Structure 1
Amino acid sequence: MHVKFVVAAEALFAGYALAVPTATQQTKRQTGVEEYIASESPIAYQGVLNNIGPDGSGAQGAAADFYTWTRDSGLVFKELGDAFIAGDAALEVHLQNYVTAQAELQKVSNPSGDLETGGLGEPKFHVDMTAFTEEWGRPQSDGPALRAIALITYANHLIGSGQTEQAQNIWPLVQNDIAYVTEWWNKTTFDLWEEVEGSSFFTAASQHRALIEANALAAALGQTCEGCEEQASQVLCFVQDFWTGSAVNSNINTQGNNRAGLDANSFVSIIHTFDPEAPCDDVTFQPCSARSLANHKAVVDSFREGYGVNQGIEQGVGVAVGRYIEDVYMGGNPWYLCTAAAAEILYDALFQWAKIGTLSITDVSLPFFTDIYESAAVGDYAADSEEYTAITAAVKEYADSFIGVLQKYTPKDGSLAEQFGRDDGTPKSAAHLTWSYASFLTMIARRGGIVPPTWGAATGNTLPDQCSGASGKGNYAGPATVSWPSA
């Protein structure tokens, strides 16, 4: 049970440890990265558009394993929403089509249930918006949370631009997804890789964010988000259970899972719960937090020896990153999106340190820093200090080295598949993966200092006095068809 084609067909479905290079070497390496970004960016952008909507060329005459996943569509459309807000006005029609399609898709009964009995947790559908009825890993409870986040992103824009009435039309869809979250957050689910049934770090962190954002949207619209605030704190309390003291164990409460727990699940979670207004908060695992950086080292290091393409690459230099080192699917290879996520976390952290004005190193994060800056020591470094400048330069160089890996294993036509070979780097598995393209675009946006709006992490990071696993009872209602004013 694996992601084959990540489809967002919205109108159809819908003195350093690493020696500092000389100026000449650094310029050459940076130029290579810049050239790759310049050439790959339009290809990745078009690669996303090719897989969405009725006009997407990737949606025409698609292969038999071409589906739409609620999770992957939510992730992609969240990223498109951020790009629209950042100034790409041409994307709005795609966002509107996505909203319209989801209003219909929420009503489709499927093997997971109907709207009120768990059907929102169904992982995938045919692109003609009919249910997929064959055996699969069900439920996948990250989907409703991620769809809610994508919908809220656009609804917040509509409110900010004086189109509150249109935002009100989106609320019933959000309310349904949040009802699912409040009712199902404490139940086992399949993870984002569709393989392990248990409790997933990515799912829980996404659910916490969705509850925080939905509560704020409800207030802005004069609506009520029943149980959102209380459930959010309990979900956040549960998120803490995934921390081992040195890294994230991405899947817990499982049976027969013999993995070590080091998984790019945690990378994808951290970049999608990044809040540019948040402090370096361990509780929400912000990118610049000690927990995030310690986990970054642990996960990346787990791949250093296992892949042939990583042999001979010294500590403190980026390597190819897969889902988890025990992976055997399609031979267990690096993934483009996982390698991009490793870089994106570091660009997020750089943004946060610059905004906060301080970089802190703790006992927990120190091993991460000494890999790339040998003389790093526990302490707080102000942005105007020489140490801050040197350390952040080393982090930037390290982040760029992951882009160098992507560059090395991107074919000449710029296409991004799902994976690339662990020994020879050749593209493998699903071709033209929407999620791969979208991950490249968000990575370079963060590198350029383009960040999404805040989601409220700075005020949504309070743990309850006592943790409880109790869930709520969701209130669902079939959403009306959503239409949009003519241009």
Structure 2
Amino acid sequence: MKKVQPQEQLDWASEQKRFCVSAMLRAVSATTLVKHRPGLGQTIRPVRGSILASPEMASYDPKPDYFFHWLRDSALVADALREAIEDETLEPSGVEHLVDFVAFSLKLCRLDGPTFLRQGGYPEAVEQSFQQHLRPRAEIGAIVGDKILGEARHNADGGLDVMKWGRPQNDGPALRALAVMRFFALDAFRARAAEAALTLLRYDLDYTLSHWRLPCCDLWEENIGFHYHTRLVQQAALAEGAAFLAAAGDAKRASACAKAASALLAALDSHFDAEDGVYRPRLPEDGLNASALRRLDIAVVLAAIHAGRRAGPHSVTDPKMLATFFALERLFEEEYPINQGRPADRAPALGRYAGDSYFSGGAYYFSTLGAAQFCFLLAQAAAEGEEIAVTKESRAPLAAILQTPAAALPQAGKIGEALAEAALRRGDMYLATVRRFTPASRELSEQFSQLDGAPTSADNLTWSYACFVTALAARQRAAKAMGDARVS
């Protein structure tokens, strides 16, 4: 098989992956760090099992304060740690981090607002400038029962977040359920934490069962509604949870999960825009203007990755998903100056959506690495013989990946080997772009500027590091499936 990427870049990617694992670990059980928030009169000392979204001591000065344990981010990072253990980038003792993560997460599931208030958790000495950002006592007091699982984030000491934020967020429990089920592949984890993990899994699946019909805040924590990303990871968690619980002898809960997963799969189809041939990130609703309704959003592509769907509707092989991915490529190729005039061996840097105004509104590492992982997953699927349908939606995307005229494409089932090679090569082109905009320090921020590629927004975003690890793990599996021994 012909060489799809220079060995030098594979070597760089391997070194960067090791750096990313080390950088992630700075945010995991960061018990030596102390975060002071004078405006709230808070001092936060992380406890074991917590995972910081960023270990930096920023306070919107101008870098954002991400010194929190986000349910979503922590689940993605924990899953990346599992990947690193499986491919031996992280030593086997790293399983302790997963055990601690489960124990900490269980404690969070058992929090409630009234107890938090009685124990003096609500800040009293709050500076005037912070008053506008403080959640009312009544809102904290209303956090009872399973409402705690809809909290977007917690302080890393295990306390409630008292700041106003986008709530509820219902993707976190689903993503955590998916991660925890994957932990069971590790013998050492099962030996240490099987019972606790099963209890946590039931918390997360029960919450998802109770809330999948309800609107919530989106992946970007900006809008309340019915969101493609949330729905797809919920569907995946319930579908996989049904099989997992059935094997564990929990037939009643398994049946409920399977029924809800089927309903969610049908609901996801309603996000398809037949006119433009793409999946939309949210459904039409009152007050949503036409431009917002027709928005393209990388959250759709990330949903397919986070859900881990190997084939079929709403996976990387779905013609409609391929069309959405292709449309996002073209969007950012045209919108970002850093994508203009780039070398032929680099793919475009990707952001979240057109018109993004958060900090630089630029490219994101997790978006661009997500595109790389998408391509590697597609390569693996093609190499393993999954049917890749050539339809009116997928013809142009497949032609672009294969670098062939659309009219020359054969029918489904005849492009597997060629597509595997081409998709792996396309993923490598995204890695080349990430390399181009990775500083000499190897540190990954949240964004890099669409104007000049300079790091912006939060420094050392743990999610950025996790995305690099999972993208490289996906490449390794794709290369193995293709019979390629040159694995980073």
Cα-to-partner distance string for 1:92-122 (whole Å, 9 max, x where unaligned): 0000000110111111225475452522101
Residue 203 (structure 1) shift: 0.5
1:420 and 1:61 map into 2 onto residues whose CA distance is 17
Quick one: structure 1 residues 32 and 301, their matched pair in 2 at CA, closer, same or farther if it must change by over 3 Å? farther
1:46 equivalenced with 2:46 (yes/no)? no
**Aligned residue runs from structure 1 range 64-463, under 5 A:** 64=59, 65=65, 66-87=67-88, 88=90, 89-110=92-113, 111=139, 113-114=142-143, 116-155=145-184, 157=186, 163=191, 166-226=193-253, 227-245=256-274, 246-254=277-285, 255-256=287-288, 258-259=291-292, 260-275=294-309, 278=310, 280-281=311-312, 283=313, 285-313=314-342, 318-356=347-385, 359-372=388-401, 373-376=403-406, 377-380=408-411, 388-449=416-477
SS of residue paired to 2:160: coil
Residue 55 (structure 1) shift: 5.0
Quick one: structure 1 residues 357 and 337, their matched pair in 2 at CA, closer, same or farther if it must change by over 3 Å? closer
On the 8 A contact 2:175/2:306 being kept in 1, the answer is no
SS of residue paired to 1:265: helix
Residue 198 (structure 1) shift: 0.8
Cα-to-partner distance string for 1:405-459 (whole Å, 9 max, x where unaligned): 111110001000000001010000100110000101111111111799xxxxxxx
1:30 equivalenced with 2:64 (yes/no)? no
Quick one: structure 1 residues 251 and 32, their matched pair in 2 at CA, closer, same or farther if it must change by over 3 Å? farther
Q: More deviation in 70-79 or 216-225?
A: 216-225
Residue of structure 2 in register with 1:8 after alignment: none
TM-score by length of 1: 0.79
Quick one: structure 1 residues 438 and 42, their matched pair in 2 at CA, closer, same or farther if it must change by over 3 Å? same
Give the aligned residue type for 1:252.
Answer: L
1:316 and 1:47 map into 2 onto residues whose CA distance is 28
Give the aligned residue type for 2:405.
Answer: S
Quick one: structure 1 residues 352 and 340, their matched pair in 2 at CA, closer, same or farther if it must change by over 3 Å? same
Quick one: structure 1 residues 406 and 197, their matched pair in 2 at CA, closer, same or farther if it must change by over 3 Å? same
1:223 and 1:200 map into 2 onto residues whose CA distance is 29
Give the aligned residue type for 1:184.
Answer: H
Residue 221 (structure 1) shift: 2.0
Quick one: structure 1 residues 56 and 296, their matched pair in 2 at CA, closer, same or farther if it must change by over 3 Å? farther
Residue 196 (structure 1) shift: 1.6
Q: How many residues align?
A: 417
Residue 124 (structure 1) shift: 0.7
Residue 334 (structure 1) shift: 0.4
Cα-to-partner distance string for 1:355-387 (whole Å, 9 max, x where unaligned): 11655422221111222422344434667xxx6
Residue 78 (structure 1) shift: 2.0
1:327 and 1:449 map into 2 onto residues whose CA distance is 33
On the 8 A contact 1:243/1:249 being kept in 2, the answer is yes
> How many percent identity over aligned positions?
27
On the 8 A contact 2:382/2:416 being kept in 1, the answer is no
Q: More deviation in 82-91 or 115-124?
A: 82-91
Relative to total residues, which structure has the larger helix share, 1 or 2? Answer: 2
Cα-to-partner distance string for 1:173-192 (whole Å, 9 max, x where unaligned): 21121111111111111111
On the 8 A contact 1:114/1:120 being kept in 2, the answer is no
Q: More deviation in 256-265 or 431-440?
A: 256-265
Quick one: structure 1 residues 40 and 157, their matched pair in 2 at CA, closer, same or farther if it must change by over 3 Å? closer
Quick one: structure 1 residues 157 and 402, their matched pair in 2 at CA, closer, same or farther if it must change by over 3 Å? same
Residue 162 (structure 1) shift: 7.0
Residue 402 (structure 1) shift: 1.1
Q: More deviation in 334-343 or 360-369?
A: 360-369
In angstroms, what is the RMSD of aligned CA positions?
2.8
2:440 and 2:56 map into 1 onto residues whose CA distance is 25
Residue 329 (structure 1) shift: 0.7
Query: For structure 2, which runs of at least 5 residues remain unmatched after alignment?
Result: 34-51, 60-64, 114-138, 481-488
Give the aligned residue type for 1:103.
Answer: L
Query: For structure 1, which runs of at least 5 residues remain unmatched after alignment?
Result: 1-22, 453-487
Cα-to-partner distance string for 1:44-78 (whole Å, 9 max, x where unaligned): 11111111113576887844521110111111112
Cα-to-partner distance string for 1:179-214 (whole Å, 9 max, x where unaligned): 111111111111111112111111001111111222
Residue of structure 1 in register with 2:41 after alignment: none
Quick one: structure 1 residues 327 and 32, their matched pair in 2 at CA, closer, same or farther if it must change by over 3 Å? farther
2:334 and 2:246 map into 1 onto residues whose CA distance is 50
On the 8 A contact 1:320/1:405 being kept in 2, the answer is yes
Residue of structure 2 in register with 1:477 after alignment: none
SS of residue paired to 2:384: helix
